[in-house]
Amino acid sequence: MKDERGSMTLWAFGLSLLLFGVGFLALDLWNAFSARSEAAGVADSAAIAGASALDETAWRSGVLALDPTAAHDRASTAALSHPAWDPSMALSVSATPEGVSVTVTRSIPFRFVNALVPGRVATVSVTGFAEPGEGP
């Protein structure tokens, strides 16, 4: 027991460093989850906007279908004008008469993990799909 003075201080210091590391990792993960949520909001709202582009000719004959060109344009415009749109996002829109699919991809750089492992980024890809339908 005689040369153990100060060992508790070293343990407390090591534990503090470990807790700070876990806290910084949690902040990076929170940033990634937040960015994914924003990308999902953009993709979903753009897909819904695209699904509102009905083919009027098909509608008049009793068929519920989309005009793919108009659906693509509406979905792209809605995504690019969304308040959460960020220039770091990439957009892919695919429209058919049955529905419109919008994929938003985003790279998220880690802030605190970069101190340990430089150059690490997370890539998040979210797809929203909507089809024309009759309301309730």
pLDDT, tens digit, for every residue of 58-83? 889 988 999 999 999 999 999 999 99
Write out the two tokens for 41. Answer: 């909001």
Domain boundaries, the chain: 7-130
Q: What pLDDT shows up at residue 2?
A: 62
Q: Strands, E, within the chain: which ranges? A: 89-95, 100-109, 121-130
pLDDT, tens digit, for every residue of 11-58? 899 999 899 888 888 888 898 899 899 999 999 999 999 999 998 988
**Backbone torsion region of residue 62, taken as left when φ is above 0, otherwise alpha when ψ lies between -120 and 50, otherwise beta:** left
Comparison of pLDDT for 118 and 4, the residue scoring more: 118
Give, in order, the Cα–Cα distances in Å from 35 to each of 68, 99, 110, 131: 29, 26, 12, 25
Q: What's the whole-number mean pLDDT along residues 88-108?
A: 94
pLDDT, tens digit, for every residue of 14-23? 999 899 888 8
Please state the pTM of the whole predicted model: 0.79
